[in-house]
C-alpha cells in the first residue's frame, strides 16, 4: 500500500478539519474527544515546505491561539521545569516549576485564547532523555503536576532523517499514537500562495519557466584549494524563494536593485546553478519595469519629466512592461494593507501616465487587459468607481465620450 502524500494546500485543509474535530463540543459544552483519546497531528516533510506556516495559518483562520516551540535544542529543565524542594506533612519532596511550554500557553489563555494550537517543531529531534516525558505529555497533556489547558491541541512537525542529522525515525509505537500527514512540495500550491502573497513577480515568472527549480536538495562535488574533492550541500526550498522575494522588493524600494548579484541570491538559493540561472533572469527582468519604477512614477513631483524619459525610442520595451506590471504593483500594495480607495487613486494616476506615452492606444489596450486579468483589481473596482478606468475601457472598445453641443 502506497503512502498517502499530499501537497501544502491539501495538508492545510486536512489539518484545519482535524483540529476543528478535536475541539468539537457536545450540548453540555464538553469536548467530544477527550485529551487522552486525541492523536496529535504530525506533519512530516522535507525542510522548507511550509509546515510551520500551515500550522500558524490554521490557528489564525480558526480564530484560536498559537504557541510555537522548536524541540531541537530543548533541555530537560525547559520541558520538565526546575526542581523545587518543599516540605509536605513533615516530609521533604521534590516538585517542579511550571514548564516553559505550558507557561506560554497559560499566558495566551489569560489573554482570552482558551483554545489554541501548541506547535512543537522538529519532534523527531528530541533527545532520548526527554522523549519518555514528551510521550507522556502527548498522551495525557500533563508534565508532572502541570496540565495543558484542555482547549489546546498539540501539533507536531518533523523532517525525514536524510535532511536533518539530528532527526531519527520514530518507533512504531510512537507513530501509532499520531495522526501523520506526509507532505511533499507542490508547484501549483506554491504558485497559488505566491500570487496571494504578491511575491516578487520575477520569482513568479522564473518559476513558471523553471518548475523543477522550486525545490532541490542534494550535494555537488567540488575541489578545494588543495585539489581535494569535497561534497557541498545544496538546498533550494519554497521558503528560500519567499525570503528572496522579500529581499528583492526591499532592494528595489531602496533603489538598490543593481546591487543584486549571484552572491546575494546564493544566500537564499543555495545552489550555484539555480542561483546563477535566476541571477541572469533577474538582470534581464530588471531591464524592464519593476516595483521601484512604478513607485517612482507615483511619487514623482515632475511626472512630465518621467513621461519624456519613457517616451524615448529605446524605451518601447519598458513602456510595454509598464502596462503589464502596473496590476502586479497594485496587488503588492493591496497585500501590504492599502485600502481600495488608495489602490483606485494610484490606478488613476498610472492610467493617466500611460495615456500620455507614445503609442498610447496600444499601451492602454494592454493595460486594460492586464487590469481585467487581476482578480484583486477587479474586486477593488467593484467597490470603488474609477472614472479613469471607465475612460480606459471606452478607449479600448472605441467608445467615445459624448460631448454636449
Q: How would you classify the pairing of strands 5-6 and 179-183? A: parallel
**pLDDT surpassing 80 at residue 287:** no
C-alpha cell at 215: 525545490
**pLDDT surpassing 50 at residue 367:** yes
Asked if residues 190 and 45 have their Cβ atoms less than 8 Å apart, the reply is no
How far apart (Å, rounded) are the C-alpha atoms in residues 216 and 316? 37
pLDDT in tens, 95-115: 767 888 899 999 999 999 999
Dump the DSSP string for 129-190: TTHHHHHHHHHHSEETTEE--TTEEEEEEE--GGG-TT--PPPHHHHTTSEEEEE---HHHH
pLDDT in tens, 114-129: 999 999 999 988 888 8
Least confident of 16-20, 149-153, 207-211: 207-211
The dihedral over CA atoms of 7, 12, 14, 19, expressed in degrees to the nearest 10, equals 160
Q: Which of the given ranges, 109-113, 174-178, 365-369, has the highest pLDDT on average?
A: 109-113
Cα distances (Å, whole numbers) of residue 39 to 51, 154, 282: 18, 9, 46
**pLDDT surpassing 80 at residue 404:** no
What ranges do the domains of the chain cover? Answer: 5-184, 188-286, 291-396
pLDDT score of 344 = 92
Asked if residues 207 and 245 have their Cβ atoms less than 8 Å apart, the reply is no
Q: What is the CA radius of gyration of the chain?
A: 27
The CATH H-level superfamily of 5-184 is: P-loop containing nucleotide triphosphate hydrolases (3.40.50.300)
Asked if residues 245 and 203 have their Cβ atoms less than 8 Å apart, the reply is yes
pLDDT in tens, 128-161: 888 888 888 888 888 888 899 999 999 999 988 8
Amino acid at each position: 500500500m502506497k503512502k498517502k502524500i499530499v501537497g501544502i494546500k491539501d495538508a492545510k485543509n486536512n489539518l484545519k478539519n482535524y483540529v476543528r474535530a478535536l475541539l468539537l463540543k457536545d450540548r453540555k459544552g464538553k469536548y467530544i474527544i477527550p485529551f487522552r483519546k486525541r492523536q496529535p497531528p504530525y506533519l512530516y516533510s522535507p525542510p522548507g515546505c511550509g509546515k510551520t506556516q500551515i500550522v500558524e495559518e490554521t490557528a489564525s483562520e480558526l480564530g484560536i491561539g498559537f504557541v510555537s516551540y522548536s524541540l531541537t535544542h530543548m533541555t530537560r529543565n525547559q520541558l520538565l521545569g526546575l526542581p523545587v524542594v518543599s516540605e509536605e506533612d513533615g516530609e521533604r519532596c521534590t516538585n517542579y516549576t511550571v514548564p516553559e511550554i505550558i507557561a506560554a500557553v497559560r499566558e495566551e489563555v489569560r489573554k482570552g485564547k482558551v483554545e489554541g494550537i501548541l506547535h512543537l517543531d522538529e519532534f523527531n529531534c528530541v533527545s532520548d532523555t526527554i522523549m519518555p516525558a514528551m510521550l507522556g505529555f502527548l498522551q495525557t497533556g500533563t508534565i508532572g503536576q502541570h496540565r495543558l489547558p484542555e482547549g489546546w491541541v498539540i501539533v507536531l512537525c518533523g523532517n525525514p532523517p536524510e535532511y536533518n542529522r539530528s532527526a531519527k525515525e520514530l518507533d512504531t509505537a510512537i507513530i501509532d499514537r499520531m495522526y501523520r500527514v506526509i507532505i511533499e512540495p507542490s508547484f501549483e500550491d506554491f504558485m497559488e500562495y505566491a500570487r496571494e502573497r504578491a511575491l516578487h513577480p520575477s520569482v513568479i515568472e522564473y518559476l513558471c519557466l523553471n518548475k523543477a527549480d522550486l525545490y532541490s536538495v542534494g550535494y555537488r562535488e567540488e575541489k578545494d584549494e588543495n585539489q581535494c574533492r569535497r561534497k557541498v550541500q545544496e538546498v533550494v526550498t519554497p521558503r528560500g524563494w519567499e525570503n528572496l522575494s522579500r529581499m528583492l522588493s526591499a532592494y528595489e524600494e531602496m533603489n538598490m536593485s543593481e546591487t543584486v548579484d549571484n552572491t546575494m541570491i546564493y544566500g537564499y538559493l543555495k545552489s550555484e546553478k539555480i542561483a546563477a540561472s535566476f541571477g541572469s533572469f533577474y538582470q534581464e527582468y530588471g531591464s524592464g519595469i519593476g516595483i521601484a519604477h512604478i513607485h517612482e512614477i507615483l511619487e514623482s513631483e515632475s511626472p512630465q519629466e518621467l513621461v519624456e524619459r519613457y517616451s524615448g525610442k529605446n524605451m518601447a520595451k519598458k513602456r510595454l512592461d509598464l502596462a503589464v506590471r502596473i496590476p502586479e504593483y497594485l496587488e503588492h500594495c493591496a497585500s501590504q494593507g492599502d485600502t481600495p480607495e488608495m489602490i483606485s487613486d494610484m490606478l488613476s494616476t498610472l492610467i493617466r501616465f500611460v495615456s500620455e506615452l507614445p503609442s498610447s492606444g496600444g499601451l492602454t489596450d494592454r493595460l486594460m487587459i492586464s487590469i481585467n486579468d487581476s482578480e484583486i483589481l477587479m474586486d477593488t473596482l467593484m467597490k470603488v468607481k474609477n472614472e479613469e478606468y471607465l475612460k480606459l475601457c471606452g478607449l479600448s472598445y472605441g467608445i467615445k465620450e459624448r460631448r454636449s453641443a
